Amino acid sequence: MATKRIISDSDFGQIIIRTRITARNISMRTKPDGLHVTVPPRCLTSKVLEVVEEYRSRLLEKWQKAAPQPLNLDFQIDAPCFRLHLEEGRFSRVTLRMNEEGIAICCPPNTDFSQKAVQDLLRNGIVRALKKSAQTYLPPLLDELAEHYGFKYKRVKITGSKSRWGSCSAIGSINLSCYLMLLPPHLMDYVLLHELTHTKEMNHGPKFWEILDDLTEGRAKSLRAELKNFRTSF
């Protein structure tokens, strides 16, 4: 049985259908890269499309609101652990400048921000800057938390995932998204502690939440809810 199906769509670009064993109903969520649908096992594609059509107008309105805003010289990220802005540079190509105030992406004079190629170039540059900052910042923080709370993990890898803040494999390898750099420190700590807890409890059963509650002063599920509702600036 396929666990992932991708269907082209004229409105959303693509509909990404994932089968989840624990799902009881069809759930839908709009993201910048399309419409994500989670379905229970043995759910037919025709049934999914039927439900999508029923809620298409409402979903499309929500998706359009969530679509990324075009980048221009007014764009900036001012997160506690990551600061970046766009500015006009002197050269004929895009360059990066770093100082104590953060990262500046310097755009050539008279850059046409309406061009898709320019938007893609700038977004890729921002992601590269996020990854570089995350590589410097997150592994030492994970080490510090692991040592403080008595966890052991095998390795850590920084990813560009926008769909998952982090993950932990059965052998204790931890993946962390570079987008964690956009979170406030208490939510960043929560994600890292969440993944470290998986080195002892792989599932999300009562024991998992008991351990995570001990690490977060009884706020594990409230922090989970806060993280779920958090919207990053990029």
* Least confident interval from 28-42, 118-132, 141-155: 28-42
Domain ranges of the chain: 4-66, 76-133, 134-229
The one-letter amino acid at 117: A
Statement: residue 2 has pLDDT above 70: no
By the 8 A CB rule, do 89 and 108 touch?
Answer: yes
- Which SS3 state, helix, strand or coil, does residue 67 take? coil
In the sheet with 166-168, reading across from the earlier edge strand, the strands are 155-159, 173-177, 166-168
Per-residue confidence (pLDDT) for residue 32, from 0 to 100: 76
pLDDT in tens, 49-96: 999 999 999 998 888 776 677 899 999 999 999 999 999 999 999 998
Give CA–CA dist 30/64, Å, rounded.
9
Q: Give the CATH H-level superfamily of domain 134-229.
A: Metalloproteases ("zincins"), catalytic domain (3.30.2010.10)
- Which SS3 state, helix, strand or coil, does residue 24 take? coil
Beta bridge pairs of residue 198? none
Statement: residue 1 has pLDDT above 70: no
Calculated CA dihedral for residues 77, 80, 81, 86, nearest 10 degrees: 20
User: pTM for the full model?
Assistant: 0.76
